[in-house]
């Protein structure tokens, strides 16, 4: 971009910023405030994003909706009108940015009410940072989803959330909102998965731990001796592990769960999170770890057999296989002849696949679920490669310096040149030999981060 043009844009933005500080802050002045933020985005999109004015824009909208809802004593007609007004403001912001800047096309499925169509564009300004574009569009879609959720149009809300997640899977907030939609649809296993993704995303969403605890509390005291759907049985056992409670007839029940857990990301991902927060200092803590170990090993054995017998779902199962090896301690002393045979057969299958097609792209395991941004237990190098898994399976994998390759998905609006670093490892467990069983149970009930507000965005002038 021409230096003089850039200077003029920045100067215009700074003048608008000074004027913004002088605007009234009351609820009645919110429309004026939002229109002023629109001008700042048009003047300099990248500076506006570096200061996260998109967050400020939403906070103003949200405060307007909350205040008017309170003033109307939750009148549904007023709520609907204000929500429609908010949809208009948010759509206008997206359209203004797209009509003035060369924002990339993030998919045909994204509504034209947010992007216009190419034939309507005039001469637009280039944008240096693709990250700014991704963060902006993902945030717009996230908040459009919220507005649809407030309007109780849940299918549309979910669609917006899924689009936002596809554009920026590193942001835990959108995973959390997908979890909320799943709860409203009574899909509690799916919700547990999404909230776990939120808690362990690159930009984690700590409040998701409160949602997970709420789900676990619903299942912790279930009588698992009675017949129930396998998803509910799994959640009941996971909740008991989380709260350090006993699982009666655990051998039979965990084996039953393993049949489905072996190839289910919705089951394995929450199990990884619960295990990461367990300690093994006392008998009841060791019992909880043993439950996880049993479920882990049973499921691992079934997964290997499934992958050897069929290859229909091989790519997604390869990701699950890598996750099982994220906790090598759980696979220690797992001496089973069938497992050893299946490991060898699978590694040979992968090796032959690479030899038949030596192209580098054939070595890469697709990651449509954005697991690169799931930070739990031992982290693997991404993209995960078949050759990498072969080394793990054959036991000749050595820790090495791994590159955390820069990604086009990010929630940050800044970039840095990171040097190669060793893959982070799970912190060693710290025994608490002097803890009583009751103290351990209380620690289990408190486990998880403190619940925060849904949004941690600040409306203060901090730039």
Share of the chain above pLDDT 70, in %: 81
Instruction: Judge contact between 186 and 122, C-beta under 8 A.
Output: no
Contact present, 166 and 110 (Cβ < 8 Å): no
Decide if pLDDT at 399 tops 50.
no
351: exposed, middle or buried (C-beta count within 10 Å: 0-12, 13-18, 19+)? middle
> Structural domains in the chain?
3-168 (1.25.40.10), 214-405+420-435+438-446 (1.20.190.60)
| Section 403-420 average pLDDT | 40
Per-residue pLDDT, averaged over 39-61, amounts to 95
Report d(CA 277, CA 131) in Å as an integer. Answer: 32
Q: Is residue 413 pLDDT above 60, yes or no? A: no
Contact 296, 331 (CB under 8 A): yes
- pTM value is 0.84
Q: Is residue 260 predicted with pLDDT exceeding 80?
A: yes
Alpha carbon separation from 318 to 144, 153, 390 (Å, rounded): 34, 36, 11
Nearest residue to 216 via CA among 447, 451, 455: 447
Q: How far apart are CA 216 and CA 231, in angstroms?
A: 13
Mean pLDDT value across residues 413-426: 33
Give the mean model confidence (pLDDT) for residues 242-251.
95
Cβ partners under 8 Å of residue 251, min gap 6? 294
- Degrees (nearest 5) of the Cα angle 56, 62, 65? 145
The DSSP bridge partners found for residue 195 are none
- Predicted pLDDT at 452: 29
**Cα–Cα distance for residue pair 451/298, rounded to 1 Å:** 34
How far CA 39 is from CA of 47, 56, 59, 165, 459, in Å, comes to: 12, 14, 17, 28, 18
| Mean pLDDT, range 404-427, rounded to an integer | 38
Question: Is the bond into 15 cis (omega within 30 degrees of 0)?
Answer: no
User: Which tens digits make up the pLDDT trace of 290-312?
Assistant: 999 999 999 999 999 999 987 66
Provide DSSP, 427-455: PPP---TT--HHHHHHHHHH-SPPP--S-
Which are the contacts of 188, defined by CB distance < 8 A and separation ≥ 6? 182, 215, 218, 231, 232, 235
């Amino acid at each position: 971009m021409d230096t003089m043009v850039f200077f003029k844009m920045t100067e215009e933005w700074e003048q608008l910023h000074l004027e913004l500080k002088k605007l009234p802050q009351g609820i009645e002045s919110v429309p004026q405030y939002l229109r002023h933020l629109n001008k700042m985005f048009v003047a300099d999109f990248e500076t506006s994003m570096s200061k996260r004015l998109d967050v400020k824009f939403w906070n103003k909208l949200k405060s307007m909706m909350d205040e008017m809802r309170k003033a109307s004593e939750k009148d549904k007609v007023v709520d609907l009108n204000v929500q429609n007004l908010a949809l208009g403001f948010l759509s206008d912001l997206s359209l203004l940015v797209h009509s003035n800047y060369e924002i990339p096309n993030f998919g045909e499925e994204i509504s034209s009410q947010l992007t216009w169509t190419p034939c309507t564009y005039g001469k637009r300004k280039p944008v240096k940072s693709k990250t700014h574009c991704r963060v902006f569009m993902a945030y717009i879609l996230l908040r459009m989803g919220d507005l649809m959720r407030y309007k109780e149009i849940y299918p549309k809300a979910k669609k917006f959330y899924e689009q936002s997640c596809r554009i920026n899977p590193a942001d835990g907030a959108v995973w959390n909102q997908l979890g909320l939609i799943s709860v409203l649809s009574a899909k509690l296993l799916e919700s547990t998965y999404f909230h776990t993704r939120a808690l362990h995303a690159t930009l984690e969403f700590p409040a998701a731990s409160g949602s997970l605890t709420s789900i676990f509390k619903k299942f912790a005291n279930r009588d698992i001796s009675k017949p129930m759907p396998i998803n509910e049985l799994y959640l009941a056992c996971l909740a008991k592990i989380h709260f350090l409670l006993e699982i009666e007839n655990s051998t039979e029940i965990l084996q039953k769960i393993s049949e489905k857990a072996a190839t289910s990301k919705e089951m394995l991902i929450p199990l990884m999170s619960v295990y990461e927060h367990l300690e093994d200092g006392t008998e009841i803590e060791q019992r909880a770890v043993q439950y996880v170990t049993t479920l882990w090993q049973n499921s691992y054995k079934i997964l290997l057999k499934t992958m050897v017998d069929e290859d229909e779902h091989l790519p997604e199962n390869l990701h699950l296989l890598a996750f099982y090896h994220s906790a090598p301690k759980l696979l220690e002393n797992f001496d089973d002849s069938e497992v050893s045979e299946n490991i060898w057969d699978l590694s040979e299958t992968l090796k032959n696949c690479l030899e038949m097609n030596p192209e580098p792209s054939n070595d890469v395991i697709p990651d449509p679920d954005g697991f690169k941004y799931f930070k739990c237990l031992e982290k693997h190098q991404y993209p995960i490669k078949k050759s990498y898994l072969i080394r793990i399976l054959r036991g000749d994998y050595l820790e090495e310096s791994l590159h955390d390759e820069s990604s086009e998905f990010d929630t940050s609006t800044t970039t840095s040149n990171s040097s190669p670093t060793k893959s982070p490892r799970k912190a060693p467990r710290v025994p608490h030999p002097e803890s009583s069983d009751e103290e351990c149970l209380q620690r289990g009930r408190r486990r998880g981060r403190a619940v925060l507000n849904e949004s941690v965005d600040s409306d203060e002038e901090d730039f």
